[in-house]
Chain A
């Protein structure tokens, strides 16, 4: 009997983790990625990966990791998978160590750990300040090994367009676009795993990579997959504003002792180094004495907003605050943070060892994503999701250094379960009729044809700027229902204008603007899920903050938001599920006082 064949879409940490498990279990993987998998967005993760190894004599435990994660996520996550992830985490770190990840070491030669936001324990293993890059490379190398053994076939420079579903809504494969020849091709698979990452491009500029458009998730949502908790968007407190993107300045800068401050006098134009300590306001340390600069990201982001927009104390009147490392020994900085200091140096031109960095919050991560059960199965049979593309682990706010772990965990659950499922399909001999592949291919070719020959006046890149501007303004840190309603109306307008898109390139070879225009449509549809979800949720929880509803409301809103697409109305509909809080009873989330 031939090996079961499973399709994995996305070659970041989650996709590669699933691929390795499947290859190890004897399956064959067709691995699809827009970019060569070694160039996936996981490389951008900087600070580290969490696991309660308790190697610092602090009495840390996997239960404490679990509690910090659930509490940090403001109790919105279903708890059983979070607990399982925290229990598996120490073993996953050991595995990565065995695969050759150059984790930083202590004097004795064991793994070193540092502190991150939302915990009081040194729980974060790290490889300099390019931990995501190092983890991705380790998995990439193992996948290359399987590739050379013929167990993995890579399809790099291919873009996912849709799932191939039969009349019973069972998934039998995918439809994808060759990014060079622009040909649409269908691929059969006994199961499909989506590991397509984040959605940053919906907000215009973000810390995400160019490929993080959410296009694949949106396409599946439009095909009937639930999209859950879309309104929960993490805005990272410390990013470097740039012309082409917002570059991340890792939380590890604060984990290693970095301090956030502004001059106490508005418009103080002095060189920051010449401002005496007594004239600096360390607002996070003052407001949150226990956690200080290491409060969770949503808390730090709102504090910076408040200092800039309510106290009017942004540096030189600009929306920026200082992140200061200059009091830390240069050697320690180079050993533990070099990768991120280099980014600041190269892109801003100042040496952060000598000068405090100027930073501001930037869109960073989606806690929401494709709805999955505890085995990473979506509501479409045969279709799985894992990594940032799924909604399952982080609740209303993700703790730093939990994303890398959740990616590998998700892949390690999805891979083996998909394999089990595929074996069952294999045994039953059930195959999809050829016509379902044919009709999906024709549907996608039709979309391409219309887009290529469209005769309008709208420029997709300019529509995208309008999308990013309004989403960033109204659906990030501070949310008002009136502005959200305006945003949704604007999205309807943009979708209407999209029908009149005119491509400046109509060639059929490596046409990047055509591909971008296709992604843009999916971004617009998914933006409505985010905006409407935010509009409905009249409470404040984790990253979702409404000044008109400043408290968490467990009576009405301790619920998972599930959006589904109403094709006839061309818009989202919503239902709400109770959250599984069977292990830890929800309690108020307070970082300004003992909890």
Chain B
């Protein structure tokens, strides 16, 4: 492969495990056209030598599909929460800096534990309560317009970029984050999914619930799938408020 003599400069924040201190390592690699951040990390794995010639270890990071649909390879690239696979080198300033997400426990290097999102999805019952897998005939009829509203919400890849970028997502507030709220909107819209609407809304009340949102709008800014997250928050916020009023009069 032609290398045209150009090189790429990269700084990576490394950390051996959750308890150890982070450190920076610098690398320099031959440039090739159309490189992305994951291909840079693959090159380093094949030849783990720092810029000053020191032998090091391959960088641990999460990745799978490499086409921005599995949600694995989220990290901070030049300080911004985004997917490494769709981050093209030629469009990024150098030296390129790679860091793990700052609001999730580090496992090692760029790999972090994002299981909190999957736990949140359990809390809000993000599913359609079907009766069973037996042949019970067609699903509810839905208009093309309804499908076109649901589909973009259903493309959330659980990358957690929206949570990393959110100023309210921290240990103090325990905020659930935009991704989960948007899933509540999705399932509350579905003709069958609606059955669990009240439980979902109640799960978003109180500490860490939807009222923690500070309307910074960072979530919608960083979402790699362009999901209308602020619209989801506004929409579900209204639903939660109504539910709170109803709950108040019922008790």
A contact residues vs B (CB 8 Å cutoff): 20-21, 24, 35-36, 38-41, 43-44, 91, 94-95, 97-100, 102-107, 109-111, 127-128, 130, 133-134, 137-138, 141-142, 144-145, 147-148, 156, 180, 209-211, 242-245, 247-248, 335, 339, 343, 346-349, 412, 459, 461-462, 465, 504-505, 507, 509-513, 516
B68 in the interface (beta carbon within 8 A): yes
Hey, which chain B residues are within 8 Å of A43, CB to CB?
Answer: 65, 69-70, 157
Give A128's nearest chain B residue, CB to CB.
B151
- Contact, CB under 8 Å: B36 / A244: yes
- Once bound together, how far apart are the Cα atoms of A210 and B57, in whole Å? 19
- Contact, CB under 8 Å: B143 / A144: no
- Contact, CB under 8 Å: A244 / B38: yes
Hey, which chain B residues are within 8 Å of A24, CB to CB?
Answer: 132-133
Give B38's nearest chain A residue, CB to CB.
A244
- Contact, CB under 8 Å: B141 / A110: yes
- Contact, CB under 8 Å: B65 / A244: no
A34 smallest CB distance to B (angstroms): 8
- Once bound together, how far apart are the Cα atoms of A493 and B187, in whole Å? 55
- Once bound together, how far apart are the Cα atoms of A127 and B32, in whole Å? 36
- Once bound together, how far apart are the Cα atoms of A465 and B47, in whole Å? 13
Hey, which chain A residues are within 8 Å of B70, CB to CB?
Answer: 35, 39-41, 43-44, 209
- Contact, CB under 8 Å: B147 / A504: no
Hey, which chain A residues are within 8 Å of B146, CB to CB?
Answer: 105
- Once bound together, how far apart are the Cα atoms of A134 and B155, in whole Å? 7
Task: Tell me whether A245 and B66 are in contact in the complex, defined as CB-CB below 8 angstroms, given that A24-B133, A505-B57 are known contacts.
Answer: yes
Q: Which of B120-128, B204-212, B235-243 contacts A (4 or more CB under 8 A)?
A: B120-128
- Contact, CB under 8 Å: B71 / A39: yes
A433 smallest CB distance to B (angstroms): 36
Nearest 5 pairs between A and B by C-beta? A97-B139, A141-B127, A461-B46, A505-B57, A244-B39
- Once bound together, how far apart are the Cα atoms of A243 and B38, in whole Å? 9
Could you jot down 14 A-B contacts, CB within 8 Å?
Answer: A38-B118, A39-B65, A44-B65, A95-B136, A97-B138, A98-B138, A105-B142, A105-B144, A127-B151, A134-B151, A180-B107, A243-B32, A244-B36, A512-B45
- Once bound together, how far apart are the Cα atoms of A24 and B133, in whole Å? 8
B247 in the interface (beta carbon within 8 A): no
Give A240's nearest chain B residue, CB to CB.
B67
- Once bound together, how far apart are the Cα atoms of A106 and B144, in whole Å? 6
Hey, which chain A residues are within 8 Å of B202, CB to CB?
Answer: none
For A97, A99, A343, the residue with the greatest tally of chain B CB atoms inside 10 Å of its CB is A99
Give B63's nearest chain A residue, CB to CB.
A210
- Contact, CB under 8 Å: A142 / B147: no
Task: Tell me whether A38 and B158 are in contact in the complex, defined as CB-CB below 8 angstroms, given that A105-B147, A510-B108 are known contacts.
Answer: yes
- Contact, CB under 8 Å: A94 / B66: no
Hey, which chain B residues are within 8 Å of A95, CB to CB?
Answer: 130, 133, 135-136
Known: A95-B135, A141-B128. 11 other contacts (CB 8 A): A44-B70, A100-B128, A100-B193, A102-B150, A144-B122, A243-B32, A335-B148, A347-B34, A462-B46, A510-B107, A510-B108
Task: Tell me whether A144 and B58 are in contact in the complex, defined as CB-CB below 8 angstroms, given that A39-B71, A210-B66, A243-B39 are known contacts.
Answer: no
Hey, which chain B residues are within 8 Å of A142, CB to CB?
Answer: 127, 130
